[in-house]
């Protein structure tokens, strides 16, 4: 086993460039090789057990051993392993899944365009908005509004919409016209003496000011995650989304809900826009659509957008955009089966029922000397590590405490995501009350050990 492990690690170091990785550090430490999964747990090549507290990458809703999804993929492989959807071609799995998504999502979203990832989906949205506005004789209406700390993918266009420095630095992004607004995180961005209502009012006033400065006739859309996930699990302040929607409607600006992480019940409602009471014109879906058993994403959009685009295809002869795997039959077959499991096992209801205990567990860490804020909504949460609780002062070397915590978590058998010094949890939707208790127990032990580790390293 050790020989195999060493051989695999050496091969990985020699051949693979990992995403979101310090590659020089990886050359020294090597990979954590996960060999199998069962339910909410995964196991490394030595047999060590971990609770996968982030559901892979916010996505494996039904757990890591759902045989029904494997069987759905196998049966579709036997019947029609691949076909495209270019030039009016179609197949039953993509048609049925599109029907299902139209049924599940807000009633104004009547059309579907499939891609393989959320990044591709948001890239597609940018092109759709440009295509549509050109068709409508609005060639200046091409800019986007996004938020600092928002995450919308990593292609040239979607990476430009993302508002995280690491996704821009040395990539020459943003590369499309986008304005990033203040992050709607009251703990970090609220001003001294400002309550949450005043914070919301300031952010909405900023949005109106930016629209006035840029000109509403130049702005195509506003994009945001209902709850910002990869930026650190940041629930919006009260009244924020209702205000954003009202301003967008008044200025003829499309409203895009990036539901790649919030969608399919993560917040205890079918979609995050329903949790925060707003209705988007466009919705991005991925991750939990197949529980990440297959790569799949979807752009949901309104009939008005479809009709404008369709009219232009009649004028110029084509919609010149698509991917080899758009609506892939195996991926869409798996998506259909995955959503059937959601309904049969009431996984969205399960997340809603677990919210109280999960959020109580997260907030139980608020008194820890290294925790500045404990936060979340539904079945997603995070604790933010700070050097000084009273002043909210972060560590001078941002990310080091989070890295140490991640290593301790692995030793304790818990995988979470260290986003800088924010420790995020987002367990599979099949989790039980007992699973939540065990996750919080392991996180508690991690934080207890972290105090000594931070002191030993002299972090300030």
* Shared-domain flag, residues 219 and 328: yes
Cα(20)–Cα(286) distance, integer angstroms: 19
* Shared-domain flag, residues 193 and 305: yes
User: By three-state DSSP, how is residue 385 classified?
Assistant: strand
Return the H-helix or E-strand segment holding 133: helix 118-135
* Shared-domain flag, residues 330 and 214: yes
Last residue of a domain, one of 344, 361, 395: 344
Q: Is residue 82 part of a domain?
A: yes
Extended beta strands in 109-242, E state: 109-115, 143-147, 178-181, 219-224
Q: Dig out the tokens for 203 from the structure.
A: 């952010």
* Shared-domain flag, residues 328 and 370: no
* Shared-domain flag, residues 283 and 405: no
* Shared-domain flag, residues 340 and 350: no
Cα(37)–Cα(34) distance, integer angstroms: 8
35, with CB counted inside 10 A (0-12, 13-18, 19+), is middle
Last residue of a domain, one of 327, 344, 361: 344
49-52 and 414-415 as β-strands: parallel, antiparallel, unpaired? Answer: parallel
* Shared-domain flag, residues 121 and 174: yes
Last residue of a domain, one of 303, 323, 344: 344
* Shared-domain flag, residues 36 and 108: no
| Number of neighbours of residue 37 by Cβ within 10 angstroms | 18
Asked whether the whole model's pTM tops 0.95, one would answer yes
Q: Looking at the 3D structure of the chain, how many domains does it have? A: 2
Q: Is residue 203 part of a domain?
A: yes
User: By three-state DSSP, how is residue 417 classified?
Assistant: strand
Return the H-helix or E-strand segment holding 438: helix 433-457
Q: Provide the domain limits for residue 60.
A: 32-65+346-457
CATH number of the domain where residue 56 is located: 3.90.1150.10
* Shared-domain flag, residues 144 and 270: yes
Looking at residue 4, what is its pLDDT?
59
* Shared-domain flag, residues 317 and 383: no
* Shared-domain flag, residues 374 and 320: no
Q: Is residue 22 part of a domain?
A: no
11, with CB counted inside 10 A (0-12, 13-18, 19+), is exposed
Find the helix packing angle between 433-457 and 347-363, rounded to 10°: 40
Find the helix packing angle between 196-214 and 240-250, rounded to 10°: 20
Return the H-helix or E-strand segment holding 114: strand 109-115
Query: What residue ranges of the chain have pLDDT lower than 70?
Result: 1-5
Q: Is residue 399 part of a domain?
A: yes
Looking at residue 1, what is its pLDDT?
44
Q: Is residue 234 part of a domain?
A: yes
Q: Is residue 305 part of a domain?
A: yes
The tokens 């999960």 sit on which residue?
358
CATH number of the domain where residue 320 is located: 3.40.640.10
Q: Dig out the tokens for 332 from the structure.
A: 């869409």
Looking at residue 338, what is its pLDDT?
98
Cα(47)–Cα(411) distance, integer angstroms: 13
Cα(204)–Cα(222) distance, integer angstroms: 13
Looking at residue 315, what is its pLDDT?
97
Q: Is residue 8 part of a domain?
A: no
Extended beta strands in 346-412, E state: 371-377, 380-385
* Shared-domain flag, residues 283 and 350: no
Q: Is residue 162 part of a domain?
A: yes
């Amino acid at each position: 086993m050790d020989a195999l492990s060493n051989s695999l690690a050496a091969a990985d170091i020699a051949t693979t460039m990992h995403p979101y990785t310090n590659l020089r550090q990886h050359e020294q430490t090597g990979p954590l090789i996960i060999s199998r999964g069962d339910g909410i747990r995964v196991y490394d090549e030595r047999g060590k057990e971990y609770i996968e507290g982030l559901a892979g990458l916010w996505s494996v809703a039904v757990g890591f051993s759902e045989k029904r999804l494997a069987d759905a993929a196998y049966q579709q492989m036997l019947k029609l392993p691949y076909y495209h959807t270019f030039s009016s071609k179609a197949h039953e799995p993509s048609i049925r899944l599109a029907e299902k998504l139209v049924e599940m999502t807000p009633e104004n979203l009547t059309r579907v365009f499939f891609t393989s990832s959320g990044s591709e989906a948001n890239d597609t949205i940018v092109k759709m908005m440009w295509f549509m506005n050109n068709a409508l004789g609005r060639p200046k209406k091409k800019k986007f509004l996004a938020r600092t700390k928002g995450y919308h993918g990593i292609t040239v266009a979607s990476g430009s919409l993302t508002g995280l420095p690491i996704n821009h630095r040395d990539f020459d992004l943003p590369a499309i016209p986008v304005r990033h607004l203040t992050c709607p995180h009251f703990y970090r961005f609220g001003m001294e003496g400002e309550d949450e209502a005043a914070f919301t009012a300031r952010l909405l006033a900023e949005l109106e000011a930016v629209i006035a400065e840029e000109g509403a006739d130049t702005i195509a859309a506003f994009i945001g995650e209902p709850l910002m996930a990869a930026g650190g699990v940041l629930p919006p302040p009260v009244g924020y989304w209702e205000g954003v929607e009202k301003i967008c409607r008044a200025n003829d600006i499309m409203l895009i809900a990036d539901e790649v992480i919030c969608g399919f019940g993560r917040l205890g409602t079918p979609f995050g826009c329903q949790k925060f009471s707003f209705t988007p014109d466009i919705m991005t879906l991925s991750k939990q659509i197949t529980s990440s058993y297959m790569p799949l994403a979807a752009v949901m959009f309104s009939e008005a957008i479809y009709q404008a685009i369709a009219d232009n295809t009649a004028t110029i002869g084509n919609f010149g955009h698509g991917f080899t795997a758009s609506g892939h039959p195996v991926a869409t077959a798996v998506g259909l089966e995955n959503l059937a499991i959601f309904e049969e096992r009431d996984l969205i209801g399960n997340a809603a029922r677990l919210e109280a205990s999960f959020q109580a567990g997260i907030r139980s860490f608020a008194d820890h000397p290294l925790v500045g804020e404990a936060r979340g909504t539904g079945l997603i949460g995070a604790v933010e590590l700070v050097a000084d609780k009273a002043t909210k002062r972060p560590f001078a070397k941002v990310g080091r405490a989070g890295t140490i915590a991640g290593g301790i978590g692995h030793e304790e058998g818990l995988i979470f995501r260290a986003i800088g010094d924010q420790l995020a949890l987002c367990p599979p939707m099949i989790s039980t009350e007992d699973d939540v208790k065990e996750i919080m127990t392991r996180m508690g032990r991690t934080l207890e050990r972290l105090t000594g580790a931070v002191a030993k390293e002299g972090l300030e």
